[in-house]
Each structure stands twice: as structure tokens, then as C-alpha cells.
Amino acid sequence: MNDVLIKQIAELSALEVQGNASIKSSNIKDDGSVSDNFKKLFMERTFNISVPYVAKYGINLNNQKINIEEKNKQVYIVLPNPSCLAMNF
């Protein structure tokens, strides 16, 4: 019964993050130089990549041993470190 309660607590502590990972690369420096202006007219190579993602972080309790200790009338529950459980693009 304690294991079920701890798994429910671990599920409540899960975190879902949504966002966009973006990368921009260009051969233009925007420094106002003559060569920079020449590149803007004839040889500009700029690309933007944006990838949306959903990441889920939490504690994976599959095949994990949960340690419950009692010291001085206090209960200590030792859980594994949180990690990225799923990443969807």
C-alpha cells in the first residue's frame, strides 16, 4: 500500500514543458561593412529552424527500489533523481 501512495506522489510531481528550440545561422554580420552589404545583395545565406517540443520530466519508478526509513519519529522517503521521461517533437 505504501508503494502505491509513493507512486501517486511521484506522478503528481511530474512536470510537462512545452516550447520551441530555435537555431539561426547567417553569413551576415550586420556590421555595416562594404563586404557585409555585398553579401546582403548577392550571397546571403541565412536559415532559421524552429522545432516545437513537449518534454515530460519526473521520477521513473519502473524497476526501482524505493527506500523508506524511520528515524526519530520521522519518515524519510528516498526516491531516484528526476529525469526526462519523454520528448516529443
**pTM, to two decimals:** 0.53
Q: How would you class 88 by CB atoms within 10 Å of its CB: exposed for 0-12, middle for 13-18, buried for 19 or more?
A: exposed
Q: Round to whole Å and give the CA distance between 15 and 65.
A: 22
Q: In which order are the strands placed within the sheet that holds 46-58?
A: 15-26, 46-58, 83-88
Signed CA dihedral, 71, 76, 78, 83: sign only? negative
Cβ neighbours of residue 81 closer than 8 Å, sequence gap 6 or more: 59
pLDDT for 1-56, tens place per residue? Answer: 677 777 777 666 788 899 999 999 988 888 888 888 888 888 888 889 999 999 99
